[in-house]
Amino acid sequence: MKKLLTYFALVLLTLTFSSCSDYLDIKPRGYDVPHKLSHYEGLIYGADLSSIFVYHYGTFEHTIDEPGFSSLYSLEGYNASKAYLWQPDIFRADDECYEWNMPCSHFYRLNLIVDEVMDAEDGTDAQKISVQSEARFMRAWFTFLMAQYFGDHYNEATAATDLCVPIITEASTTGTEFERETVQKVYDYIITEMEESLEYLPKRPSHTKRIFNGAGNAMLGKVYWMIGDYEKALPYLEEAMTIFGNDNTVNLNDLALLIDTDAGQIWDYPISANNPESIFVIQTMTNLWTALATMMGNAHRTLRPDVLHEYFDDYDMRLSLFTGVETWMTAYAMFSTDVRYHTNMTIMTANDGISLPDVYLMYAETLARTGDINKAKEVLTNLRSKRMPIANAAIPLSVANQDEVIQFVVAERIRENFGTGLTWYDMRRLWDDPLFQDLKQYYTRTDGTDTYTLTKERLTMKLPPSVMKWNPDFKQN
């Protein structure tokens, strides 16, 4: 279990820290050592924190049809093709695994900030602990993301023995051994880091790459929501909703104001960094969203019409984000059962951080799970009023009891996140939920000859060969 972080050596080409930093009081050309508070804040702003996170199993969710698989090898290659078929071995020996490497690539600098920022030569103690708390929050979040791919989903009965991911809290690139920790220990670590840091986060946002108090409440609420502890999730999500409600820089997009009514399409949907729905941004590009525009030939990633028609009504303006291949028209303009649909080029990235619609939907589900179904309906209606005509936004009268409201919230999550890869989180957490066994009908795929079905074992990815090579003692998923 050694050399887990060997790829961090690249970081040292630009940022070197030496125990002999006072040697002749000379800084080698091209190297620097952070010593001011602004330097540590700059590490949080580091360019690679905005790197796009491309994941594989989550890419395809349950949205791709068989014709869209035909050109997969030519455009996306081996990894995406194997992931589409829910195969266990989707990485070859020399393949890069973004799901593992992207979070790990940030731990060195985040650990450095946590360990050293309190010794910065300027700034007040309050300012320093704020930066330190933000770094603690961020490394906990990246650990959380890793756990969604390489750790078993949280099950209270087995979490103490189920394996998850390493907990990396050392700013070291050599000579350190890591172990795969249990699911319980990983989530205890994540929650402790967030709870201890929350009160020290800035009260106002400075940038969508920075975590402030509102984002922190939403992120901690999401962790509790993910493990099914809705009673503990509720106050954090409630606080986040209150904070965002008093912040005029954070708003739901009204799709009616963005749609070109002649074309029936949204041409200029705001990118994550400039989107008023963005709370904390980690840009994510799934293979699904790289579908080619129709003017360049057939779309390489086409959507399952049966899923689209199951979840969307023709008045839902979110359909403007999908395009009918044969018609060159958007789905919102022509929603037909005999048309293949693909994602248009309006949105090329999703947000794997925290967004306002995500908070609305987690809050609504948590309210419903804890018994306040009327408040849950109110929250849902507010969101839906920005996605469709107000006359259609109210929750149908047929959605009456607690279970029905919970199911409606999850259906709304599918509509909101359709094709982005973010439904992967729901697929994992709802796998054993008796209310959602019908979703598994969409987890079967074909390559035109054989049929492949998602199994519970593949809710976790196997550790890639590039990780196992340096950590032979790791138990494989």
pLDDT at 25: 41
pLDDT at 44: 81
SS3 state at 279: strand
Q: Over 60: is that where the pLDDT of 166 sits?
A: yes
pLDDT at 286: 56
Contacts for 126-133: CB closer than 8 Å, 24+ residues apart: 126/200, 127/37, 128/37, 129/200, 130/200, 130/201, 130/202, 131/37, 131/40, 131/41, 131/44, 132/197, 132/200, 133/196, 133/197, 133/198, 133/200, 133/201
pLDDT at 68: 60
pLDDT at 277: 94
pLDDT at 382: 98
CB 216 within 8 A of CB 209: no
Confidence label for 61 from pLDDT (cuts 50, 70 and 90): low
pLDDT at 444: 85
pLDDT per residue over 431-454, tens digit each? 999 999 999 988 888 777 888 899
Q: Over 70: is that where the pLDDT of 97 sits?
A: yes
Tokens in use for 295?
């003017």
CB 181 within 8 A of CB 166: yes
pLDDT at 195: 98
CB 197 within 8 A of CB 175: no
Confidence label for 345 from pLDDT (cuts 50, 70 and 90): low
pLDDT at 48: 52
Rounded to an integer, the average pLDDT of 459-463 is 92
Confidence label for 6 from pLDDT (cuts 50, 70 and 90): very low
pLDDT at 174: 59
Confidence label for 104 from pLDDT (cuts 50, 70 and 90): confident
pLDDT at 283: 77
Q: Over 60: is that where the pLDDT of 158 sits?
A: yes
pLDDT per residue over 176-235, tens digit each? 578 999 999 999 999 999 999 999 999 987 777 789 999 999 999 999 999 999 999 999
Rounded to an integer, the average pLDDT of 102-107 is 86
Q: Over 70: is that where the pLDDT of 245 sits?
A: yes
Rounded to an integer, the average pLDDT of 130-143 is 95
CB 435 within 8 A of CB 403: yes
Q: Over 90: is that where the pLDDT of 358 sits?
A: yes
pLDDT at 384: 98
Q: Over 60: is that where the pLDDT of 15 sits?
A: no
CB 191 within 8 A of CB 220: yes
pLDDT per residue over 400-418, tens digit each? 999 999 999 999 999 998 8
Output 73 or 153, whichever has higher pLDDT: 153
Rounded to an integer, the average pLDDT of 76-99 is 82
Strand partners for 341: 303, 324
Q: Over 80: is that where the pLDDT of 9 sits?
A: no
Strands 259-260 and 265-266: antiparallel
pLDDT per residue over 293-333, tens digit each? 344 444 455 677 778 888 999 899 988 887 776 665 666 76
